[in-house]
Amino acid sequence: MLSIGQQAPSFEAESTQGRVRLGEYFGKQPVVLIFYPKDETPICTKQLCAVRDSAARYAEFNALVLGINPGSIDEHERFAQKYGYDFPLVSDRDERIRQLYEVGNIPLLGQKRCVFVIDASGTVIYAKRGNRPTAEIVEALKSSRR
């Protein structure tokens, strides 16, 4: 798993809102990367619904939020539409992004659940495994302003 203080690797991938080029946001705004195992599973759905419900808190920091897993764009679009996610879900079919961020994989279950906050300069300022509380992520975004 990437560590705090490391430069975030840039990537380019398809999402539910078109092609995402992470490097285009460096120097402009913070980014929250949410790696989650699979669409339409109870914990993943709960995790992303919490992000959806906290959209205003992320907007206070002009933060781009990206959900990432190996699912297809079609799967992501159905999932996003069903639950009203207005943030992009990125398709990491070849698991290249997961590998860049050293997220790890659980045999038979897929990628691990991790959250990264990247400040506007492109530096990782928060990196934790698991389903992280919104308040904790927002605190990391606050620290990026200091």
Residues with catalytic roles: 44
Exposure string for 36-54, b = 16+ CB within 10 A, e = fewer: bbbbeeeebbebbeebeeb
| Residue 18 CA: distances (Å) to CA of 9, 21, 24, 121 | 20, 10, 14, 23
Sequence-distant (6+) residues with CB within 8 A of 73 are: 14, 15, 16, 91
Q: H-type helices in the chain, by residue range?
A: 42-53, 55-59, 73-83, 96-100, 134-143
C-alpha gyration radius of the chain: 14
